[in-house]
């Protein structure tokens, strides 16, 4: 059971249109002690009562990972409690095990975040295999970059979701990439949105003669924002679901989960439930607070690693990139 899942948001990045790594690690340094204090208070436990210290070891922004890693090591050393290094992407998947109903093993998980897009085959909490992933941008990046092209602030994913609710998803037909197997690609979509906007909706491919003025482009976006957002979201969702259906039919697995920040998207959630009904899947989506990055998912992964006695020593290194 998760006793506390406190999150300190960093609004400092908003005016830069994306996360600034140096500012992120500074904010981490400032926040980490108060955040741990609040978490202990919310949970009603003393530091001495915890059984182990789990922390995110990889992947991510190295400055932020180092702050968390060093803090976790210090706590582990001071309290003489085991240290557990957690992989961020494994944690997103295991967020599905936090609350009832839980999927049975083996299950498939579509993990969609700002940095990753993966289909994971999960045989046990500590036994997973990535069977498909993006060859370029992540799904969250596709949302955020499209939003940026539309002049929306960072992170744009939730805003596209909001405007899409009022729009016609089939009005603009953005192309679906033809990528073999279970892999994904989103960079082509971003390019066609760029051209589409440069041409104020006239064409999906670049044609100099259709190039609109800045004013025409702005007016086009203003007058059609909901339909553009709905059409972009529709395409991202169909790219994701078509590969997930392929993975389900190839593996014959019926327990299927979503995870990661983009699983908060209402279009993805409803299309996923619909596909589940049609294909007789048992579908699982974590509660909203366990979709975007959170402490609860690191705790549940720490718990399963604890049961397996999978501990780290103080020499464990934080890394920005990590296969698993």
When asked if residue 292 is in the footprint of ligand KG4 (CB under 6 A), the reply is: yes
DSSP 184: B
At 86, is the secondary structure helix, strand, or coil?
A: strand
When asked if residue 293 is in the footprint of Zn ion (CB under 5 A), the reply is: yes
Positions in 148-177 near ligand KG4 (CB under 6 A): 155, 157-158, 161
Cβ nearer to ligand KG4, comparing 200 with 237 = 237
> Nearest distance from residue 56's CB to ligand KG4, in Å?
10
Residues contacting ligand KG4: total by CB under 6 A: 17
Checking DSSP bridges between strand 117-124 and strand 107-112, what pairing results, if any?
A: antiparallel
Closest CA to 270 of 230, 221, 320, 224: 230
> Nearest distance from residue 28's CB to Zn ion, in Å?
15
Cβ nearer to ligand KG4, comparing 57 with 265 = 265
Closest CA to 134 of 155, 148, 113, 154: 113
Positions in 2-61 near Zn ion (CB under 5 A): none
Q: How far is it, in rounded angstroms, from Cα 265 to Cα 91?
A: 19
Q: Is the dihedral angle over the CA atoms 285, 289, 291, 296 positive or is it negative?
A: negative
Chosen from ligand KG4, Zn ion, none, partner binding at 137 (C-beta under 5 to 8 Å by type): none
**Helix locations, 6-61, DSSP H:** 21-43
138 near 151, Cβ under 8 Å?
Answer: no
Chosen from Zn ion, ligand KG4, none, partner binding at 143 (C-beta under 5 to 8 Å by type): ligand KG4
When asked if residue 64 is in the footprint of Zn ion (CB under 5 A), the reply is: no
Question: Near ligand KG4 by CB under 6 A, which window of 2-10, 192-200, 242-250, 254-262?
Answer: 254-262
For the CA atoms of 300, 302, 303, 306, the dihedral, rounded to the nearest 10 degrees, stands at 170
When asked if residue 114 is in the footprint of ligand KG4 (CB under 6 A), the reply is: yes
When asked if residue 261 is in the footprint of ligand KG4 (CB under 6 A), the reply is: yes
Q: How far is it, in rounded angstroms, from Cα 105 to Cα 307?
A: 17
Residues found near ligand KG4 in the complex (CB under 6 A): 113-115, 140, 143-144, 155, 157-158, 161, 260-262, 264-265, 292-293
């Amino acid at each position: 059971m998760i006793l506390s899942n406190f999150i300190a948001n960093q609004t400092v990045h908003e005016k830069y249109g994306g996360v600034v790594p140096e500012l992120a690690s500074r904010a981490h340094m400032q926040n980490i002690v108060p955040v741990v204090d609040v978490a202990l208070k919310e949970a009603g436990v003393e530091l001495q009562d915890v059984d182990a210290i789990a922390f995110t070891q990889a992947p991510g922004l190295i400055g932020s990972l180092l702050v968390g890693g060093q803090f976790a090591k210090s706590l582990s050393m001071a309290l003489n409690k085991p240290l557990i290094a957690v992989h961020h992407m494994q944690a997103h998947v295991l967020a599905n095990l936090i609350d009832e109903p839980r999927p049975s093993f083996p299950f498939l998980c579509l993990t969609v975040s700002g940095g990753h897009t993966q289909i994971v085959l999960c045989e046990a909490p500590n036994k997973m295999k990535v069977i498909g992933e993006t060859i370029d941008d992540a799904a969250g990046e596709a949302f955020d970059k499209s939003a940026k092209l539309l002049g929306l602030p960072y992170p744009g994913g939730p805003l596209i979701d909001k405007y899409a609710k009022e729009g016609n998803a089939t009005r603009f037909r953005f192309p679906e990439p033809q990528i073999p197997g279970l892999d994904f690609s989103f960079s082509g979509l971003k390019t066609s949105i760029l051209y589409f906007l440069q041409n104020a909706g006239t064409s999906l491919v670049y044609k100099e003669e259709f190039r609109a003025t800045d004013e025409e482009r702005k007016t086009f976006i203003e007058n059609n924002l909901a339909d553009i957002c709905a059409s972009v979201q529709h395409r991202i969702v169909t790219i994701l679901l078509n590969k997930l259906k392929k993975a389900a039919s190839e593996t014959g697995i019926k327990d299927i989960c979503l995870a990661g920040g983009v699983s908060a998207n209402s279009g993805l959630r409803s299309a996923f439930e619909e596909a589940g009904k049609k294909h007789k899947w048992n579908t699982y989506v974590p509660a909203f607070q366990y979709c975007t990055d959170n402490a609860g998912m690191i705790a549940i992964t720490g718990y399963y690693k604890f049961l397996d006695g999978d501990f780290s020593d103080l020499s464990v290194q934080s890394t920005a990139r990590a296969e698993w």
